């Protein structure tokens, strides 16, 4: 049987989908949910359910499963019943819906009696659009709910996390088996079963258990195009991690470690370096775990360093990165853990530190006592994981193929496709090092071998070693460079290192192949790399204004805290980015921003508009809302390699005639925009600050910035005095920032 594969996942090509929602439905999508279009994978499901059909939906995390039942629930008459096992998430989901003006409630064991009674009354009165419920609640003995539900039409029944019904799945919950009776109780309500994880066997079982004999199956691609995959060598991984985190600018992310101990140590080390990080593992008390998890979800602590115990049932959509400090044991785990990044479809990163060198360490985890078959299966899975880490081919292709999906040879959004993982031919270096090992009369450790190669003058080197032909042949490379090469040769199995008190080097069969020139050796470049190059898919649709974005993020947090909900429930990150890029000025403008439906405009519109107006005045920004009610055209992201084309154009005119007013007129831009372009040009190194400002205007502000690089522009202005314009403050900032960033 061929199943329907909907193309694209989150973040890819939503806007090209034209579908048969009627005018009223399209308006509802915009008014209530603030979405302009359905995603390609959602559209066929929603159409089918709107027409009353049963559906089985297999969609990756972040694919947008919720809308598949929430939208029909709002459009179809009657109340929708949503079965979910994740009690902890129900409240957030319901809060989120209510913030959109949707009448939602939940029933689970956390409710007080009074609250529960209110919900029952609402059910009877027919004033709810959606009711979330835990399965054990629905079928509790002596419970009249089922009978009450039959009094009124149900718009649909949604079974979230549907794999819980199957014993073949990884999260079987016996109460889910009772859901079998639902089809008999409510034969007329369409049923939607949704899950992100189900293999073939589990899939068939779900259909059988839920009696979904006539359901249409919708499987979307498991590709997560907005996730950038990268692997970095384990050696020097801390340097790599630190520079990676610095580039994340305080965004939310998860770092996975293998052991509880490691999570504690790493979190402590990160905190000591000024990162805001906490550890999370099963050894903490339930209260402590809860507290830390909530702090993470509420954006109070951006970085959580966790064992894989963390993440099950976490519904945080703006996780921007997932780092694996240790190699996961299999690709299933890797996919699931990295999948916690970027559920909102925004560019996100998955970075793994590890490779072949981790194999030996993980091997014991694959041994299941007395079960050889199981052990060898686990070992095979570990090998595939190592292959993934070591591969020079497209990571996405390997992942998707592993899960039985076709994929193009290059995705354009992983380290290998983007050429970020610089490998170089190290055959000559390897031969030098291995021949030193071969020539030494007895085995020595790496340090001594390197001393020989570099022709060390240290007195501990025996005279006989100085006489070797390899003595000093490696003078051209620094000691640490040889260390890196040596360690990687060991990791990759080109030479053996004896375990034990004296980790001496011994040649093996592969060493001899290298020495005889039968094998080329490729090693990875170890220079810390700059952040991954932005690529087509790595690029958000719009590039927001960084400082304004930060302010809006702070405002969102305030609004969320006041309502005791997670920040992303108020608005997703991409809404903030659009706000900071287009700087809407009126409520009408706001409707053009993703995520702003009617109720959110009413509730939060004023607060955001006010913040934007204030920031525009202070930062010297203007609105960039295009005329008309169409979606703003995406602006290209500023490339890190150079200034944007529009900045270059301004710069070109500046060189012809340095008049801001003149350029503004010629380019039909605001003077503020031209000034911003010039400041951008300074920041990009295309223009010197002293070409714009005389030294006596520039110097005092540059000094103020250097003294307080984290200050706001207003604070700087308070220091240097009102006579300085924000343009001067911006240029000085660009100059000061530039001067501390290394060239290149």
Binding site for ligand ADP (CB under 6 A): 10, 14, 35, 38-39, 42, 59, 61-67, 317, 343-345, 572, 594
CB 305 within 8 A of CB 280: yes
Least separation in angstroms between residue 224's CB and Zn ion is 12
Choice between 631 and 672, CB closer to ligand ADP = 631
Choice between 39 and 281, CB closer to ligand ADP = 39
* 564 SS3 class: coil
Least separation in angstroms between residue 533's CB and ligand ADP is 26
What's the rounded Cα separation, in Å, for the pair 316 and 580?
22
Choice between 34 and 190, CB closer to ligand ADP = 34
What's the rounded Cα separation, in Å, for the pair 190 and 210?
12
Supply 581's token pair: 């890029």
Residue 28: closest CA among 101, 90, 95, 128: 101
- 71 touches which of Zn ion, ligand ADP, none (CB within 5 to 8 A by kind)? none
What's the rounded Cα separation, in Å, for the pair 381 and 24?
50
Supply 568's token pair: 């992303």
Residue 594: closest CA among 571, 610, 615, 569: 571
Choice between 13 and 642, CB closer to ligand ADP = 13
- 417 touches which of ligand ADP, Zn ion, none (CB within 5 to 8 A by kind)? Zn ion
Q: Please give the residue ranges that form the binding site for Zn ion (CB under 5 A).
A: 394, 396, 411, 414, 417
354 conformational bin, left if phi > 0, alpha if psi -120 to 50, beta if neither: left
Choice between 158 and 732, CB closer to ligand ADP = 158
Least separation in angstroms between residue 673's CB and ligand ADP is 29
- 306 touches which of ligand ADP, Zn ion, none (CB within 5 to 8 A by kind)? none
CB 355 within 8 A of CB 386: yes
Least separation in angstroms between residue 579's CB and ligand ADP is 15
- 39 touches which of Zn ion, ligand ADP, none (CB within 5 to 8 A by kind)? ligand ADP
Least separation in angstroms between residue 479's CB and ligand ADP is 49
- 505 touches which of ligand ADP, Zn ion, none (CB within 5 to 8 A by kind)? none
Supply 740's token pair: 């501390």
Choice between 416 and 594, CB closer to ligand ADP = 594
Least separation in angstroms between residue 227's CB and Zn ion is 11
Choice between 264 and 315, CB closer to ligand ADP = 315
Least separation in angstroms between residue 196's CB and ligand ADP is 6
Choice between 68 and 278, CB closer to ligand ADP = 68
Choice between 355 and 566, CB closer to ligand ADP = 566
- 61 touches which of ligand ADP, Zn ion, none (CB within 5 to 8 A by kind)? ligand ADP
- 411 touches which of ligand ADP, Zn ion, none (CB within 5 to 8 A by kind)? Zn ion
Least separation in angstroms between residue 717's CB and ligand ADP is 37
Least separation in angstroms between residue 233's CB and Zn ion is 19
Least separation in angstroms between residue 117's CB and ligand ADP is 30
Choice between 418 and 644, CB closer to Zn ion = 418
- 647 touches which of Zn ion, ligand ADP, none (CB within 5 to 8 A by kind)? none
Residue 547: closest CA among 676, 735, 441, 642: 676
523: enclosing H helix or E strand: strand 522-524
Q: How far is CA 232 from its chain centroid?
A: 17
Beta carbons within 8 Å of 581's beta carbon, 6+ residues apart: 542, 543, 544, 545, 624, 632, 635
- 394 touches which of Zn ion, ligand ADP, none (CB within 5 to 8 A by kind)? Zn ion
Alpha-carbon torsion, ordered 592, 594, 598, 601, to 10 deg: -80
- DSSP string of 54-87, one letter each residue: -EEEE--TTS-HHHHHHHHHHHSSSEEEEE-S-H
Supply 113's token pair: 């009696």
Q: What is the DSSP letter of 95?
A: H
- 389 touches which of ligand ADP, Zn ion, none (CB within 5 to 8 A by kind)? none
Least separation in angstroms between residue 316's CB and ligand ADP is 10
- 311 touches which of ligand ADP, Zn ion, none (CB within 5 to 8 A by kind)? none
| Burial of 185 (C-beta count, 10 Å sphere; 0-12/13-18/19+) | middle
Strands 130-133 and 104-107: parallel
The residue count of the chain comes to: 744
Choice between 10 and 566, CB closer to Zn ion = 10
CA atoms within 13 Å, Cβ hemisphere of 622: 11
Supply 632's token pair: 């703003």
CB 602 within 8 A of CB 568: no
């Amino acid at each position: 049987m061929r199943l329907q594969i909907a193309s694209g996942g989150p973040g890819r090509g939503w806007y090209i989908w034209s579908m048969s929602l009627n005018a009223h439905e399209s308006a509802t999508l915009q008014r209530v949910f603030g979405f302009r279009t359905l995603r390609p994978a959602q559209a066929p499901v929603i159409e089918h359910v709107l027409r009353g059909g049963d559906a089985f939906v297999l969609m990756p995390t972040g694919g947008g499963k919720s809308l598949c039942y929430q939208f029909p629930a709002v459009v179809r008459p009657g109340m929708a019943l949503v079965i979910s096992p994740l009690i902890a998430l129900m409240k957030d989901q319901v809060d989120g819906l209510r913030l959109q003006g949707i009448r939602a409630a939940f029933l689970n064991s956390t409710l007080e009696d009074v609250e529960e009674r209110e919900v029952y009354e609402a059910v009877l009165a027919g004033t709810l659009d959606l009711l979330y419920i835990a399965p054990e609640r629905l079928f509790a003995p002596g419970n009249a709910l089922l009978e009450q539900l039959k009094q009124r039409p149900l718009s649909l029944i949604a079974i979230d996390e549907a794999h819980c019904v199957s014993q073949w799945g990884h999260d079987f919950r016996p109460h889910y088996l009772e859901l079998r009776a639902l089809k008999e109780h409510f034969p007329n309500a369409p049923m939607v079963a949704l899950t992100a994880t189900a293999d073939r066997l589990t899939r068939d079982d779900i259909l059988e258990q839920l009696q979904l004999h006539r359901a249409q199956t919708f499987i979307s691609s498991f590709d997560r195009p907005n996730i950038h995959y990268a692997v970095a060598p384990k050696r020097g991984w801390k340097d790599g991690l630190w520079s990676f985190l610095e580039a994340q600018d305080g965004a939310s992310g998860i770092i996975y470690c293998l052991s509880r101990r490691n999570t504690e140590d790493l979190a402590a080390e990160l905190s000591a370096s000024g990162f805001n990080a906490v550890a999370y593992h099963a050894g903490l008390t339930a209260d402590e775990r809860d507290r830390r998890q909530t702090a993470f979800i509420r954006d109070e602590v951006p970085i959580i360093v966790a064992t894989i115990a963390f993440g099950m049932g976490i519904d945080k959509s703006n996780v921007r990165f997932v780092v694996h400090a240790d190699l996961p044991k299999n690709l299933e785990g890797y996919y699931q853990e990295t999948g916690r990044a970027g559920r909102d479809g925004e560019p996100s990163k998955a970075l793994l530190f590890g490779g072949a060198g981790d194999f030996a360490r993980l091997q014991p985890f694959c041994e299941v006592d007395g079960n050889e078959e199981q052990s060898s299966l686990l070992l095979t899975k570990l090998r595939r994981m190592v292959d993934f880490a070591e591969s020079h081919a497209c990571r996405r292709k390997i992942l998707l193929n592993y899960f039985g999906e076709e994929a193009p040879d290059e995705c354009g959004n992983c380290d290998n496709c983007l050429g970020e993982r610089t490998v170089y031919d190290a055959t000559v270096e390897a031969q030098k090092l291995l021949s030193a090992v071969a020539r030494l009369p007895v085995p020595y450790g790496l340090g001594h071998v390197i001393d020989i190669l570099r022709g060390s003058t240290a007195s501990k080197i025996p005279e006989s070693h100085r006489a070797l032909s390899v003595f000093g042949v490696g003078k051209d490379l620094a000691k640490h460079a040889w260390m890196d090469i040596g360690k990687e040769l060991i990791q990759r199995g080109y030479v053996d290192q004896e375990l034990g008190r004296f980790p001496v080097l011994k040649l093996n069969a592969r060493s001899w192949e290298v020495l005889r020139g039968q094998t080329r050796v490729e090693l990875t470049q170890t220079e810390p790399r700059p952040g991954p190059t932005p690529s087509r898919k790595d690029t958000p649709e719009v590039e927001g204004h960084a400082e304004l974005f930060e302010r809006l993020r702070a405002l969102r947090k305030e609004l969320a805290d006041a309502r005791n909900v997670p920040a992303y429930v108020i608005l997703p990150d991409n809404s903030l980015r659009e706000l900071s890029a287009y700087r809407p000025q009126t409520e009408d403008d706001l409707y053009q921003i993703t995520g702003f439906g009617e109720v959110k405009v009413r509730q939060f519109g004023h607060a955001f508009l006010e913040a934007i107006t204030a920031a525009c005045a202070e930062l010297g920004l203007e609105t960039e809302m295009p005329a008309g009610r169409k979606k703003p055209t995406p602006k290209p992201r500023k490339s890190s390699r150079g200034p944007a084309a529009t900045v270059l154009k301004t710069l070109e005119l500046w060189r012809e005639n340095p008049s801001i007013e003149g350029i503004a007129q010629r380019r039909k831009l605001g003077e503020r925009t031209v000034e911003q372009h010039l400041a951008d040009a300074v920041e990009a190194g295309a223009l010197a600050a002293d070409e714009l400002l005389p030294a006596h205007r520039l110097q005092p502000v540059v000094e103020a910035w250097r003294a307080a690089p984290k200050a706001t522009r207003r604070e700087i202005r308070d220091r240097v005095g009102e006579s300085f314009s924000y343009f001067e403050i911006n240029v000085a900032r660009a100059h000061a920032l530039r001067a501390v960033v290394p060239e290149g």
